[in-house]
Amino acid sequence: MSKLFTPLQLRSVQCRNRITVSPMCQYSSVDGFATDWHLVHLGSRAVGGAGLIITEATAVSPEARISPFDLGIWKDEHLEKLQQITAFMTAQGAVPGIQLAHAGRKASTNVPWKGRGKVAIEEGGWEVVAPSAIAFADNYPMPVALDASGIQKIINDFQAAAERALQAGFKVIEIHSAHGYLLHEFLSPLSNKRSDVYGGSFENRTRLLLEIIAAIRTVWPDELPLLVRLSATDWAEGGWNIDESVQLARLLQQHGVDLLDVSSGGLVNYQKITAGPGYQLPFASRIKKETGMLTGTVGMITTAVQAETILVNGDADMVIIAREMLRQPYFPLQAAHELKENTDWPVQYERAKW
């Protein structure tokens, strides 16, 4: 059996293979509600054979959204459609996962096809928050620095969202602490200039993430896995770096995190990235090899052989695929064919298997 199609056990949850659909914002919600678009988008990847499917960044409060059209899980009314989606994914053999997120200073912005930039309050936007009053860019909102009560509200919002995620039928939670959103903003000294217990030292900058993990673990069952998405480096001088990511990974293991989804960048608009196939793989590999923690790797993974090689070499435990899954919702079925794996197909599609 190929490594790519070897099941991966995460606590009581078994993923049928090592192919995960990465969270990808669809900007197709109104007031946070999932729609038939989400059912078809996520459901088709389940039919296509993915082992784990993680929803787009799902806002834990209205002000946590990136745009006014983000998916949300801040009220009970959101659950009915999400339950339909998770039931369908489960019936197709995929594990349904949800990424819980807060956009921080990158909130209240336009959808990408409208050019990003801030959405003014009079046009449906809202006041945004961050560790410190530093805007992401000139055309982004100026955030308000969070006070103690604001920080506690965010912890409570993540905890309540985790409770709803369980009711909605999700089996995996991923906490979004990457790509320049709120929890990443607390981690990086480029965006966190606080002088209280949430700023300054490594211990202080990681405090909020660890407190959110602890709060979620009080309501998320012990038998279900918890993941964190992390930007391993800011790709900018003086920012969060891979050494700190290794150090944080060791703490996350102690706090009940089962796998680290290792990405990079997104914090500042002056980052300098040299991108190419596998350009982020060294980060996941180093964290895995130095800490023993399970890792997933992302970024320009486009072929079955490339994915298989990553796993065979021991550089990661899971491949987390985004754009190729948009191009090929049935990438896992095609990968199984290329690797000569006799994996299960939906019975409705079996006539095309060979």
Q: pLDDT band for 222, please (50, 70, 90 cuts).
A: very high
Q: What share of the chain is helix, strand, coil (3-state, %, to 5)?
A: 40, 15, 45
For 116-138, the pLDDT digits (tens) are 899 999 999 999 999 999 999 99
Burial class of residue 151 in the structure, from the number of CB atoms within 10 Å of its CB (0-12 exposed, 13-18 middle, 19+ buried): buried
- pTM, two decimal places: 0.97
Predicted local distance difference test score (pLDDT) of residue 274: 86
* Domains of the chain, earliest start first: 8-352 (3.20.20.70)
Tokens at 351, concatenated: 């006539």
Average pLDDT of 208-218? 98
Q: Which residues are marked as active site?
A: 181
- Residue 39 CA from chain centroid, whole number: 19
Average pLDDT of 170-197? 98
CA distances from 175 to 24, 158, 217, 283, 292 (A): 14, 9, 12, 18, 20
**Does residue 284 have a pLDDT over 90?**
yes
Is residue 129 within 8 A of residue 192, CB to CB? The reply is no
Residue with tokens 């300098």, as numbered in its chain: 272
Average pLDDT of 314-325? 98
Distance from C-alpha of 253 to C-alpha of 158, rounded to nearest angstrom: 19
Q: pLDDT band for 262, please (50, 70, 90 cuts).
A: very high
The percentage of residues in the chain with a pLDDT greater than 70, rounded to a whole number, is 100
What count of residues does the chain have? 354
For 8-25, the pLDDT digits (tens) are 999 999 999 999 999 999
For residue 259, the SS3 value is: strand
**Does residue 354 have a pLDDT over 90?**
no
